[in-house]
Amino acid sequence: MLRSSRAVLAAAACLVSLSVFADTANAAQGLFMFDLQSRPSLHDSKPRPGYKLKSNKVRLAPEFRRQIVAYKSNQKAGTIIVNTGEKHLYLVLGDGKALRYGIGTARDGFEWSGTHKVSNKREWPGWTPPAEMKVRQPNLPDYMPGGINNPLGARAIYIGSTLYRIHGTNEPWTIGQDVSSGCIRMVNDDVEDLYERVKIGAKVIVL
């Protein structure tokens, strides 16, 4: 009986060791996984460990996780600065700090830059593909209602009078890549967070 108990304890210890080893290996790769069901508060600005859409697990590299960083800027708090080269969006907080988010940006031929203001905001926005996009992709619908399958994702922040938006995505694995027709993509959790913080009229600088 004593030998049997010792065997059980040894097996349990082995399983714990394997679990710790696996966690350490994953951390060493610099990749983190998370799921939608355990979403933290919209106002929690701490880095979070990942994203899961339906049954597809998505890994987000640490540099694209939401976090407060040191950031020198002469822009006032509340300004959005999009650095397309870095694949980062910064919300200026003041006092030498900013809230940094990972983004997906325009693919070759669709890049742009400029200074505008937030002109509107929408929750679970509907999407009307521009005529130019429908020429390139004739199978697109004339209109798609808001929802989890909508390419604009959970929130849209409209940039001036342009056709461009900062919006969520139903393809979170594209964060960190050049993938859009000019819009700025964010994972849904992050665009919801930014949506709550930014005001209509806020300056948007795209570099």
Which residue reads 């200074």 in tokens? 115
137 by DSSP, 3-state: which? coil
Which of 43, 88, 116, 167 is an active site residue?
A: 167
167 catalytic per annotation = yes
Rounded-to-integer distance, Cα 84 and Cα 194, Å? 17
Which residue reads 């929690």 in tokens? 44
45 by DSSP, 3-state: which? coil
Which of 14, 43, 116, 183 is an active site residue?
A: 183
Give bridge partners of residue 118 from the DSSP assignment.
159
Which residue reads 């964060």 in tokens? 175
Residues annotated as part of the active site: 167, 183
